Structure 1
Amino acid sequence: MSGLALSARSGQRSQPAPVAHPGTHDVVLAELCAALFASLPRSDQRRRGEAYVRGLLGAEGRKSIRNIAALIGGQAAEQSLHHFISSSTWDWIPVRRALAHYLLRVAPPQAWVVRPMVIPKAGDNSVGVDRRFCASVGQVLNAQQAVGVWSASADRSAPVNWRLHLSDAWLEDELRRGQASIPDSVRSESLGECTIEAYVGMMRDWGLPIRPLVLDARESDALAALHRLRATGVPVLAQVSSSLRLTVAEPPVPGRPVEVLPAHQIMGAARDLRRPVMWRDHTPARAVRTSLTAAVRVGLPLHRAPGGRPPRRRDLLLIGMGENGRRWPAELWLTDLVNVPPAALVRLSRLVQRVDRDFTEIADRVGIRDFAGRSFTGWHRHVTLASAAHSVLALTTPAAEERPGNVF
């Protein structure tokens, strides 16, 4: 859960989102809504879907159903929208799939980025709310915990899929499950499993092209996550904890047993391999930054079943990143993109900053965390339409290609 601004964790609001290009906002909104809501069987559902997205973009303050309805039609609209979000039968999965394919066509991603989202709550009735320790702010919060998968490039990013993490306290309580309309298909999983399934389920069923997956695996079972992702064939770039134990693949010493060492110790020994890499940050100034990097070939610890053959070794690349004169390494990343130059991997890792910035400046401004209802289905429909509203702003805000330079 690293790299996330305190404002995105504590519920504080950021500065207003960037202003869109005049004249393009309505065009993109109409085109996107036509694509997204084609799966909705009734014309009134399609109209309400577009009205809700317009309300998320235009309503003042918190993006509650009441505030959205006040913008588009008052009390009658409030009842209609409440039913559309919380009680209707439309399926959000085809809408998300259509959003992913729309972005693939008009703003092709360089990577899929997985980002956690903590939603502080005052009460305990909203689906999934629990007392959770949030490492980034060092305190326990009463909050929902979700995972988003973002389509990301150097120019812009937008969320395309969401998965809400539910604890056993919710899943094993039949009364709470029923009140929150949690489907029978939702089963217990760790936060790490929730993170992986948000991506794997999307790629399995949506017909999307393979792109590198960038994620923070420091607070999950990184070894289990990497083993599962590698089994699917997806290229992965994962930030890992300094204590993750890895085998050293180089330099090989004949006759010497393979060492298993913490990642920070491996990278500390590689200090003399550091080289400078230049990249542009994702602030409006697009400032040029320099990172020191080093790369070492490593492997995951292998376990042979009794009487079985030793599993085939597959090398990974451990990347250390830091700044001159600062603690080394400041970040540790693990990837199976062993033939990609470290400089390109550093720039790929910076897409996490692109997503963090867009979450703060756009997603939170269109109310991605503002759903006040209690139901599982209502939450998923709201974040789906908020993702659409985010995409409209992301696509109509001056992009990086209109500024000097580019990340890649």
Structure 2
Amino acid sequence: MSTLTAENLVVQRSRTGRRDPVHEVADELCSAVFGSLRRRDQREKGRQYVFGLLEAPGRKSIRNIAAQTGGVGAEQSLHHFISDSTWEWQPIRSALAQYLDQTTPLTTWTAQPMAIPRGGEQSVGAGHRFDPHRGRMFRGQQAFGVWFTSVDVATPVGWRLYLPQDSAGSLTADRSYEDCAVTAALESVLQMGLAPRPVLLDIRGIGTRPTLHRFAQVGLPVLARISPATRLLVTDPALPGHGAGTLAAQDVLRNVRALRSPVEWTDPLRPGMRRTSWVSAVRVMMPDPSPERRRHLRLVGEWNDPNLPPTELWITDLLRPAPAVLLRMTKQARRVSVASRHSVQEVGLRDFSGRSLSGWHRHVTMASVAHAARALAEFR
């Protein structure tokens, strides 16, 4: 994780007379990903906004961004560029993902929720929201980021804001929190133009069967964290529980404790530190009244302490990778969670205020470019 703050960036640039590595990468990124902006002035406004996100101390409001990059006179033009312009954000997100893949090849996608607390309800999508991953209500916005993860880099490239059907039109509303989470992952990944890679998603507390079905329909592999109570069918005749009907996932894993094996992995909380977990993978199937929707899956269990119940349970349609490979893959979700806690605020991903949904999308797109510049500068 980068230790450079916005204040340090400004001080370093003024003392040395040269741009720091983050600014150099940001310059390269802006040149590479803003090609869909047809007008030169739009490309310049995009560059100005990204650099303002990197430099402005505190909250990354348009006023603060303008103060860093163009003074008071720039505020109105930047506001128009974000909230009232007509440029499309998806081509920039796709170009960003493709640039990243050429620089440090993609290994997995990770869908990560982002709660955005708000004191009032003047911003698009703001209201009383329930965060199932934290188990509590809050006032504000709920968004989902889709993160590009490689061996060296973890950075967001796709976004969706949760808009319940009672607060938005039919073209943008989500039927449920689950619908928003899955749609964010599917739409973002399918629009990036990259070869299919596994999508990591936490679906505890939301529908397991419909989620897996939606991924299967479009041919995207998925590795999803599930609740211990999720009902499954054991399909391997040699294993306990076969033919016993549906069992809770935690019971399936308890029956195969003897098949666990130790796996080493690197802790993203403490880079360089190696940890050991015990892992087991079992062939299972989701119970479904429709035979054509029944698919072979694998239940992956992880134990931090072999004498206690499993720490995490995951289900996947990846049938060939070894259990150790799948376990290490799940740690990308942990890595993204750590990165988001430490870096999202640095580039103002939560800082857009306004009623414009398109303005929100344009802001988080520019903030994603700024975030990628930080991540790539650290990698280099």
Match of 2:324 in 1: 343
The answer (yes or no) to whether the contact 1:156–1:354 under 8 Å persists in 2 is no
- Listed as ranges, the gaps of 5+ residues in structure 1 are 1-13, 173-183, 305-309, 400-408
Match of 1:240 in 2: 226
Hey, what's the Cα distance between the residues in 2 that align with 1:120 and 1:160?
21
Hey, what's the Cα distance between the residues in 1 that align with 2:371 and 2:303?
32
Match of 1:403 in 2: none
Hey, what's the Cα distance between the residues in 1 that align with 2:179 and 2:132?
18
The answer (yes or no) to whether the contact 1:149–1:199 under 8 Å persists in 2 is yes
Hey, what's the Cα distance between the residues in 1 that align with 2:89 and 2:298?
38
Q: Which amino acid aligns with 1:303?
A: P
Hey, what's the Cα distance between the residues in 1 that align with 2:174 and 2:199?
24
Hey, what's the Cα distance between the residues in 2 that align with 1:193 and 1:117?
15
The answer (yes or no) to whether the contact 1:303–1:311 under 8 Å persists in 2 is no
**Which secondary structure state, in structure 2, belongs to the residue aligned with residue 113 of structure 1?**
strand
Aligned length: 368
Q: Which amino acid aligns with 2:221?
A: P
Match of 1:388 in 2: 369
Match of 2:83 in 1: 86
| TM-score (norm. length: structure 2) | 0.91
Hey, what's the Cα distance between the residues in 1 that align with 2:171 and 2:322?
42
List aligned pairs for 1:5-404, cutoff 5 A: 16-17=3-4, 23-171=20-168, 185-251=171-237, 257=243, 259-304=245-290, 310-311=291-292, 313-324=294-305, 327-398=308-379
Hey, what's the Cα distance between the residues in 1 that align with 2:371 and 2:153?
11
Classify 1:248/1:284 alpha carbon distance in 2 versus 1 (closer, same or farther; 3 Å): closer
Which protein has greater RCO, CA pairs closer than 8 Å, 6+ apart? 1
1:279-319 deviation line (CA, Å, top 9, x unaligned): 01113542001111111111111314xxxxx4375321111
1:15-45 deviation line (CA, Å, top 9, x unaligned): 9558999853333212110122111121111
The answer (yes or no) to whether the contact 1:236–1:335 under 8 Å persists in 2 is yes
1:111-158 deviation line (CA, Å, top 9, x unaligned): 011111110100011111121122444431002111111110232211
1:366-397 deviation line (CA, Å, top 9, x unaligned): 11101122210111111000000000000001
The answer (yes or no) to whether the contact 1:148–1:161 under 8 Å persists in 2 is yes
The answer (yes or no) to whether the contact 1:299–1:315 under 8 Å persists in 2 is yes
Classify 1:82/1:221 alpha carbon distance in 2 versus 1 (closer, same or farther; 3 Å): same
1:139-195 deviation line (CA, Å, top 9, x unaligned): 3100211111111023221111101110123126xxxxxxxxxxx632442222222
**Which secondary structure state, in structure 2, belongs to the residue aligned with residue 350 of structure 1?**
helix
C-alpha RMSD of the superposition = 2.3
Percent identical: 43
Q: Which amino acid aligns with 1:110?
A: T
The answer (yes or no) to whether the contact 2:200–2:222 under 8 Å persists in 1 is yes
Classify 1:311/1:73 alpha carbon distance in 2 versus 1 (closer, same or farther; 3 Å): closer
Match of 2:15 in 1: none
Hey, what's the Cα distance between the residues in 2 that align with 1:350 and 1:170?
35
- Listed as ranges, the gaps of 5+ residues in structure 2 are 13-18
Hey, what's the Cα distance between the residues in 2 that align with 1:38 and 1:212?
28
Hey, what's the Cα distance between the residues in 1 that align with 2:103 and 2:373?
12
Moved more, 358-367 or 107-116: 358-367
Hey, what's the Cα distance between the residues in 2 that align with 1:81 and 1:262?
53
Moved more, 101-110 or 23-32: 23-32
**Which secondary structure state, in structure 2, belongs to the residue aligned with residue 150 of structure 1?**
strand
The answer (yes or no) to whether the contact 2:98–2:194 under 8 Å persists in 1 is yes
**Which secondary structure state, in structure 2, belongs to the residue aligned with residue 237 of structure 1?**
strand
Hey, what's the Cα distance between the residues in 2 that align with 1:170 and 1:222?
26
Hey, what's the Cα distance between the residues in 2 that align with 1:240 and 1:50?
41
**Which secondary structure state, in structure 2, belongs to the residue aligned with residue 358 of structure 1?**
helix
Hey, what's the Cα distance between the residues in 1 that align with 2:191 and 2:74?
34
Hey, what's the Cα distance between the residues in 1 that align with 2:2 and 2:133?
21
Runs of 4+ aligned structure 1 residues displaced above 4 Å come to 14-23
Classify 1:91/1:210 alpha carbon distance in 2 versus 1 (closer, same or farther; 3 Å): same
